[in-house]
Amino acid sequence: MIRRRKALKNIGLITGGVLTLPYNCSFETQISYSNFPLLKKKEQDLIADICNIILPTDFNNFPTVETRKHFVLTMINDCLDNENRIEFSAGLNSFQNEILEVKKIHFQDLSLDEQNNIVANFIDNEKSEIGVFLNYLKHYSLIHFETSENYMINYLNFEFMPGHYNGRVKVKVNI
């Protein structure tokens, strides 16, 4: 009798746990950044959308090894000091709150023209939290673009093998 009760109790607990599992777990793959452990996938996608508005991605003409979202978030995670990371996080939160308060919808649900206008209005104000946040994204988006191989070779005349060997070159002798 006691074993049956214990077995039914265990079955009930297991069933309850299995039923609540989909509500508590997310099976989406997400990159975790050491200095931004609470940065969710939605926020990472928001940052990617803003970066693409600031500087549209062109994979055909300017291919890069990693996506702009990954590059920008890695640079922000690794290159900013603690104070700047706090400013960045505050700017991200302020940006999300401002959009929700003014437009009553999420940034990704706005039209492309509205997104461009919002980013253009806030990016000029470098003193505000949102302006600081957007200028970090602008800075690292531009660095990502400038490190593409096509840009470096065709626009900067960069050589990946400096000091190339010219072979048989006549030496001019002044006698």
Closest C-alpha among 130, 147, 128, 126 to residue 55? 147
* Among 72-76, 122-126, 143-147, the range of highest mean pLDDT: 72-76
pLDDT of residue 23: 58
Return the higher-pLDDT residue of 159 and 79: 79
pLDDT, greater one: 20 or 103: 103
Report helix angle 129-146 to 112-123, nearest 10: 110
Judged against a pLDDT cut of 80, whether residue 28 lies above it is answered with no
Q: pTM higher than 0.85, yes or no?
A: no
Asked if the model's pLDDT at residue 154 lies above 80, the reply is: yes
Mean predicted confidence (pLDDT) in 65-80? 92
Q: Hey, what amino acid is at 64?
A: T
* 18 against 80, higher pLDDT: 80
Most confident region among 12-21, 134-143, 158-167 by mean pLDDT:
134-143
The tens digit of pLDDT for each residue in 74-96 reads 999 999 999 999 999 999 999 99
Q: Write the CB contacts of 57 (distance below 8 Å, at least 6 apart in sequence).
A: 68
Smallest CA-to-CA distance from 53 within 111, 115, 135 is with 115
Measured distance CA(6)–CA(94) in Å, rounded: 51
**φ, ψ for residue 34, nearest 5 deg:** -60, -35
Q: Closest by alpha carbon to 66, among 135, 126, 141?
A: 141
- pLDDT for position 81: 92
Phi, psi of 151 (to 5 degrees): -65, -45
Q: Give me the mean pLDDT over the 145-169 stretch.
A: 77
